[in-house]
Structure 1
Amino acid sequence: MLDDSAFKAVLITNGRKTGTEHAVWLRAVAHMGKVYFSRRNENSDWLRNAVSNPTVKVQVDGITYVGTASLVTDQELAKKISELKYPGEERAQEVRVVLQVEINQQITR
């Protein structure tokens, strides 16, 4: 993962009701050693699952990492993530809900 870049990744969360793993392909951003995911609102299972069960997995290029997820409350950081995720696009200026994942460990290669 290159810093300040956008890429496709799989976010694996544990269901807030079932505890079952759920995987979803998303556009992610690497910035300052963390991985970020965002969306327009909080109405997604992956986001609600990650908030309820913050231990998540991120898969990139066949490598799986374990990390701790949390919501970004710093609006300047959220704006920076949108700009990195959507460079040169109008939607880079939209207010978004941003989830950050602090990578704790690489578990597969």
Structure 2
Amino acid sequence: MDDVPGVAKSRSVTTSRIDDRRSCTASGPGLDVHQRCLISVGIVAAQGRYEELATQVRGAVTSGCTQEEIQEAILQAAVFGGRDAARKSLHVADTALKGLARWRPRR
């Protein structure tokens, strides 16, 4: 990474930043938590990693992402993962969101 133009030599990707692959709260100055969560949702959707996607969706909601943003991230990833992965990912996300709604405390 040190030889990539525009990337500071002191700032390289380290295992400490990517150890917790379930976390969309990795630190860094370039993106906020909200953006990181949506990127994570898109990546795991494109990869067809559906169990991980459910975890990422729950984390994204906890971080303030809306259902519409999550759906858009999945649809953007469909370009790379294909239509079938997008359909399954939208279903997984919907199921995860419904699961969250059931467990939310009543006010």
Structure with higher Rg: it is 2
User: Structure 2 length normalisation: TM-score?
Assistant: 0.31
Greater percentage in helix: 2
TM-score normalised according to structure 1 size = 0.31
Q: Which has a greater percent of strand?
A: 1
